[in-house]
Structure 1
Amino acid sequence: MTNEQYIEAIEKRHSRRAYKPKHLSQEIKDVIKQMVDVVNESADLDFLFIDDATPFFKIFSGKFSMIVIAGPDSQKAREDCGYYGESIVLQCVYHGLGTCWVSGTYNENKVYEAINLAPEKRIYAVITIGYAKDSYSLVEKSMYKATHKKNKSYQDMIEVCDEKLPEAYSYGLSLVEKGPSAVNRRPVKFRYENGVFSGHVDEPYSDKSVDFGIAKLHFVIGAKAKGVNGKWNFENVFEPIDSRRLKFEPKNNEEDEINGSTEKENE
């Protein structure tokens, strides 16, 4: 996928909880499994694809699969889970699938019982994937109204800004606005001081860091669209760079054009 295709996916992504009564095709499941393998290998995470996810949910309808978003018990792993999990979401959305990040409305204990996860690892969320129904269900409409009473603009996320933001950064933040966030809370706070752009959350050792990882990916995509290639370093500062690329797709497919590194550094 190109950077432009990722932006197209961001624009059309909506959380879907009502799916058609048919499972994903085997071809699609194989591609998703390949993406999961690539993420686990490149980011040292423990994502797991589950073919039939319906036993773990009550308010979701239809047939759907899911990716268990899991990894080491650390702040970095939480951020990486958001970054890389969102990369898979956007690829699925671009190719016409319905998705939903889920952190509370599923039976987490039942998932732990169903998978072989090392005791020092944790599940941070799951992502449902399926063929979404053509129209939104009453449950979907109700949940949207409950969680989107007041959307937080990117200006509300800026804690400090001592000069006008570069166009690439303001556009990147406009895509952060459109990213999924638990109960639409958007907990990330950004700072732009002395030409340095950074971000943080108040409780980094919590699932807020998953939201931060998602925001990081959206920002990178937006900045690239305006000509600024960059990556987030270990201190959560955005560093413009020249020619490094992340590969999210299966190795035999077309390379992505999302900036970053294939190494474990952190969408």
Structure 2
Amino acid sequence: MDFGEPIYGLIERRTSCRSFDGKKRDEAALDQLEDFIHGINASEGAEMRFVLLRQYYGMPERLGTYGVISGAFDYIVGVFPKEGGDPVKFGRLFEEIVLYATALGMGTCWLGGTFQRADFEARVNPGENEFIPIVSPVGIAAPRRRLVDRAFRAGAGSNRRKAFGELFFDSTADTPLSEAAAGAYLQVLKAVRLAPSASNKQPWRVLKEGENFHFYLCRNKGYGPAGFDIQKNDIGIAQCHFALTAADTGLSGRFDYLGTPPAAADWEYITTFIPKQAGG
């Protein structure tokens, strides 16, 4: 997957943008983004799909976001099955699209609750067994953030991240992983730490055991799996950052589900990154 520049730089550059320049639009970049989305839909099957909803200046009204988003014409829309879908995979793929939009010079913002679903459903027309859990505006950022944008960032603590040792662990869930012990994966884990999440809860925990990295969900109260499991979606975003940064730095491997991962009280095991062995 070619983003045209080092992925870690894109991850550092991506921020939640709620204020867009309503007078400027990059149609060529939108065409490229639409092609990228079509490629993801073609390669990932029919379990879920993504749509670039393009509106135009002559349209009588914009899509409803309760005043959270201003100046945006266009949206990335995720369509998910009402039953049986994988929110981890959804989060991983949606974040790939977000990072590609970042590479094209466009702003984005994950929205899971502050949008009027009926407005989006009327334009995307999901099937009887589908719904829209997540959307993101996409476009050229405004020169300055609005007051409501700054208030949302402050309320969510968007600039505050958990310490490295609160997210990453060494051999057991009681032993924080030091940056030195992360070895070649230090930048990979730093990329995970920069992943966006609902209300900036950062629910992922990664436990390094030997060469393997086990991913867990440390669920926050009030963020249960009813409807769409937003915190498993967040794990998918973290997994996306890990996988793309590892690949970009030559650390190949695969994600797999292990039957007997290390025990971690109050954490839900999700998956394990298993590095490819030299010569393997």
Task: Sort the TM-score into its range (normalised by shorter chain).
Answer: 0.7 to 0.9
More moved, 58-67 vs 96-105: 58-67
What residue number does 1:251 align with? none
What residue number does 1:262 align with? none
Q: Does 1:238 align with 2:273?
A: yes
What residue number does 2:185 align with? 169
Letter in 1 for 2:28: E
Letter in 1 for 2:130: K
Contact 2:21–2:142 (Cα < 8 Å) also in 1: yes
In structure 2, relative to structure 1, the CA distance for the partners of 1:241 and 1:152 (3 Å cut) is same
In structure 2, relative to structure 1, the CA distance for the partners of 1:200 and 1:3 (3 Å cut) is farther
Q: Compute the displacement of 1:186 (Å).
A: 0.8
In structure 2, relative to structure 1, the CA distance for the partners of 1:240 and 1:159 (3 Å cut) is closer
Letter in 2 for 1:240: P
More moved, 223-232 vs 100-109: 223-232
The correspondence of residues 82-231 of structure 1 with structure 2, limited to 5 A, is: 82-148=91-157, 150-158=160-168, 161-162=171-172, 165-201=181-217, 202=219, 206-231=229-254
In structure 2, relative to structure 1, the CA distance for the partners of 1:111 and 1:2 (3 Å cut) is closer
CA distance in 1, matches of 2:248, 2:77: 30
CA distance in 2, matches of 1:5, 1:196: 24
CA distance in 1, matches of 2:249, 2:39: 28
Contact 2:191–2:245 (Cα < 8 Å) also in 1: yes
Letter in 1 for 2:50: F
What residue number does 1:5 align with? 6
Contact 2:26–2:139 (Cα < 8 Å) also in 1: no
Contact 2:107–2:139 (Cα < 8 Å) also in 1: yes
RMSD: 2.6
Contact 1:167–1:226 (Cα < 8 Å) also in 2: no
Percent identity at matched positions? Answer: 25
CA distance in 2, matches of 1:172, 1:75: 30
C-alpha distance after superposition, 1:89-132 (max 9, x if no partner): 11211221111111111112332233221222232211110110
Letter in 1 for 2:37: V
Q: Compute the displacement of 1:75 (Å).
A: 7.0
More moved, 13-22 vs 231-240: 231-240
* Aligned partner of residue 102 in structure 1, secondary structure: coil
In structure 2, relative to structure 1, the CA distance for the partners of 1:158 and 1:3 (3 Å cut) is farther
Query: Tell me, which stretches of 5 or more residues in structure 2 are unaligned?
Result: 56-60, 259-270
What residue number does 1:264 align with? none
CA distance in 2, matches of 1:207, 1:189: 16
Q: Which has the larger radius of gyration?
A: 2
TM-score by length of 1: 0.80
Would you say how many aligned residue pairs link Structure 1 and Structure 2? 243
Letter in 1 for 2:253: G
Instruction: Indicate which of 50, 62, 65 corresponds to 1:54.
Output: 62
Q: Does 1:70 align with 2:79?
A: yes
Q: Which has the higher contact order (CA 8 A, sep 6+)?
A: 1
CA distance in 2, matches of 1:180, 1:196: 23
More moved, 171-180 vs 125-134: 171-180
CA distance in 1, matches of 2:185, 2:229: 26
Letter in 1 for 2:182: P
* Aligned partner of residue 16 in structure 1, secondary structure: coil
In structure 2, relative to structure 1, the CA distance for the partners of 1:152 and 1:73 (3 Å cut) is farther
CA distance in 1, matches of 2:200, 2:39: 29
Contact 2:52–2:77 (Cα < 8 Å) also in 1: yes
